[in-house]
Amino acid sequence: MKNALETNSVSKNFGDFTALNNVSITVPKGSIFGLLGPNGAGKTTLIRIINQITLPDSGSILLDGEPLQPNHMKDIGYLPEERGLYKTMKVGEQILYLAQLKGLSKAEVKKRLNHWFEKFEIGDWWNKKIQELSKGMAQKIQFIVTVLHQPKLLIFDEPFSGFDPINVNLIKDEILQLREEGATVIFATHRMESVEEMCDDIALIHESNKLLEGKLIDIKRQYKTNTFEVGLITDNEPQLMHIIKSKFDVSPAVFKSLNTDLKLNIRLKDNESSNELLAFLMSNAQVNHFNELVPSVNDIFIQTVKNS
């Protein structure tokens, strides 16, 4: 499968400060790609380079296999972290202007807008000025502006910061829908848990270096510890504890439960299977909680930073 976007050894310095150091990422077509890292890691710089707002010092970028060129601006939809609209301009005129800058014709914009206005139930907003809208309403307009020209690549920088929960859900649904229609999506965020559930692929950036990249599921597999969280109901807690400890690697666990007596994290060795564990537990106590501990991206990130 072709890649929607590739960056090859992209570096960028601002004076003495290195914002990006030989960063290469590969975004597969049709994926939702999480560009993750703490504040100041270089995510926004990389995104600005992809959007041709900033020029890289070295390295190359391929969009759909072609070297990036000014013509590609219309193929990308970008919702920046610092986003806003002309306060005194009317909603309709504003969208029209921004969409025309992306190369759409006036008639085409109006046709597509009908669809979105209906979808977001904002049909009567055409003549409203942005300063009359609430923040949540303005966010909907910003989203429409980002996707109206049906770009092949959508880039969202901290998409959910400042969005209310209803809008977050609305927009998550829309993004998934756009992916269904063939778009590739890049999320950049420092709140890793917020997009973890949506991402197929991720790259971790820390202090201008890429630390990790790949399919989220592969990375999680790679980082899994074979640990299971179990909750047991028993009459004789000390005895049960003793039996388990003699067979497995055990540590106390913390989770919410109504009537569990014993909460444990049990780490299996490579030759042990979860079924064996479960069978063993069932023969000794009543099991009311059994869950494989999957590392969160946050855990993986912290671990990677520690190891690097």
**Is the Cβ–Cβ distance between 206 and 298 less than 8 Å?**
no
d(CA 103, CA 176): 25
Residue 97 engages other proteins in binding (rule: CB under 8 A): yes
DSSP state of 89: S
Nearer to other proteins, 81 or 200 (CB): 81
Show contacts with other proteins in window 159-198 (CB under 8 A): none
CB 268 within 8 A of CB 228: yes
How is residue 254 written in tokens? 């913390």
In the complex, least distance from residue 174 CB atom to other proteins, rounded to whole angstroms: 18
| Identity of the residue, 100 or 284, whose beta carbon is nearer to other proteins in the bound complex | 100
The stretch among 51-59, 180-188, 250-258, 288-296 that binds other proteins (CB under 8 A) is 51-59
Distance between CA atoms of residues 80 and 53, nearest Å: 11
Among 67, 70, 165, 252, binds other proteins (CB under 8 A): 70
Residues 9-48 that bind other proteins (CB under 8 A): 14-15, 48
- Tell me which H or E stretch contains 66: strand 66-67
Nearer to other proteins, 3 or 52 (CB): 52
How many other C-beta atoms are found inside a 10 Å radius of the C-beta of residue 257?
A: 12
What is the smallest separation between the CB atom of 229 and other proteins, expressed in angstroms? 44
Instruction: Pick the binder of other proteins from 33, 78, 116, 160 (CB under 8 A).
Output: 78
For other proteins, give the closer residue by CB, 154 or 212.
154
CB 12 within 8 A of CB 44: no
Return d(Cα 289, Cα 232) in angstroms, integer: 7
How many chain residues touch other proteins (CB under 8 A)?
Answer: 31
For residue 242, the number of C-alpha atoms closer than 13 Å in the C-beta half-sphere is 4
Quick one: 95 exposed, middle or buried, by C-beta within 10 A (0-12, 13-18, 19+)?
A: buried
Dist. CA 114–CA 158, nearest whole Å: 27
d(CA 295, CA 145): 36
Q: Out of 145, 199, 205, 232, name the contact with other proteins by CB under 8 A.
A: 145
Binding mask 101-120 for other proteins (x = CB under 8 A): xxx-----------------
Interface with other proteins includes 139 (CB under 8 A)? no
| Candidates 35-43, 69-77, 219-227, 249-257; binding stretch for other proteins (CB under 8 A) | 69-77
Per CB under 8 A, the list member of 82, 121, 124, 180 interacting with other proteins is 82
Q: How far is CA 169 from CA 166, 178, 181, 273, in A?
A: 5, 14, 19, 38
Query: In this chain, which of 1, 67, 88, 134 binds other proteins, going by CB under 8 A?
Result: 88
Q: Which is nearer to other proteins, 109 or 300 (CB)?
A: 109
Chain residues binding other proteins by CB under 8 A are 14-15, 48, 51-54, 70-71, 73-74, 76, 78-80, 82-89, 97-98, 100-103, 142, 145
